[in-house]
Each structure stands twice: as C-alpha cells, then as structure tokens.
Amino acid sequence: MLRKTKIAVFVSGGGTNLQALIDAQNRGGITAGEIVLVVSSNEKAYALERAAKAGIDSCVIRRKDFDSQDAYEDSLKAKLAEYGVELIVLAGFMSILSAGFTSAYPERILNVHPSLIPSFCGKGFYGLKVHEAALAYGVKVTGATVHFVNEVPDGGKILLQKAVAIEEGDTPEVLQRRVMEQAEWILLPQAVQMVSEQIQKG
C-alpha cells in the first residue's frame, strides 16, 4: 500500500467543494491522497462542521488576527508543516495568498474556478460574479476549471476543464448550482487524485 499524499483544504464558507472531496474520498474516488486538515479563514464557516462530521482536524486562522500578511502566512505554513501537508486545495477560500506563499508550494496548490479559463477569471471574478458576467455576456457554454495556483489570480497551469451548457432563463444562482453539480464536484476530486499520485511518484 502506497502512503497517501497529505492534503489540506482551505475554506471560508459553506464547504460544498470540501464535501465533494470528502464524499469522493469515502467512496474510493480519491485513493492516493487523504484530507488531514481543513483550514478556515472564518470561524463561522459551515465547512468546519462538515470537517467535524467527517472526523477531519480543522483550525481557524484569520487574516485580521495578524499584524501583517507575512505573519498570517507564517502561521498557515506552521500549521501545514505540523500536519506534513503536501497538497493544498482552495475550496471557496476568500483570503488572498501572496506570491511569497504560493511560491513556497509550487504546483502543490489547487483551485477550482467556476468558468472555462481564460473566460471570466482573474482579479474580482469569484463566486456569483463569475456567473453574472457569463450571463451578461451571453455565452452559451460555461463550465469549471481546476488549475494550479501561482502569483497571478487564476493564472496557473490548467489541469482539467469541463463545459456546462447555459440554459434559457438561467439566473446566476441556478447557473452556479449547475456548474457545481456538473463540473466542480466532478473535476476537483479527479484533480486531487491525479496530483496526489504525481506527488507520490516524486
């Protein structure tokens, strides 16, 4: 039995993508990695309850509790080191990470973005704003992208993409849900398994 890649999931809110990963892990969709830690930027995040129900350790590290970005990121790094984390997954994580942090984990940080990058991505495009922009522009197809995180917002190497059709009468909320169900929750576990395997091979 190969050892498992140790994974930390960074969250800020409801944790639906975290749940997709937990579910995938439980049904054998992720075998090369294991979620060992959930890190939240918000003490009220429902994602913390999801972690507790799954028996996964969690902690809350808030940017506002630190005097500087460096001090905040040093605290994150210390917690990751404590758990021997090798792969970080950003799952609706709303705190900004500096180039200093992302460069410390090259091709070890994954993010899922709710569009087909390079459309509707980059600074300011997150959450419902992405879906509002897609509908306003009138595109017929949107989707989700899993990519590595680097110093450029949504600028890292693309790993997986999946298209989702936009339907007549879609609202941003309806579209957001469809993109999650048909793309994000499918792609993210696949990418985590893929990168966990690569890390094991060294």
Q: In the annotation, is 113 catalytic? A: yes
What is the distance in angstroms between the CA of the first residue and the CA of the last residue of the chain? Answer: 16
Determine the 3-state secondary structure of 32 from DSSP. coil
Cα–Cα distances in Å, from 125 out to 8, 64, 111?
A: 24, 23, 13
Candidates 4, 6, 113, 147; catalytic one:
113
Rounded CA separation 12/175 (Å): 21
| Packed helices 128-137 and 172-179: angle between N→C axes, nearest 10 degrees | 110
Catalogue the active-site residues. Answer: 113
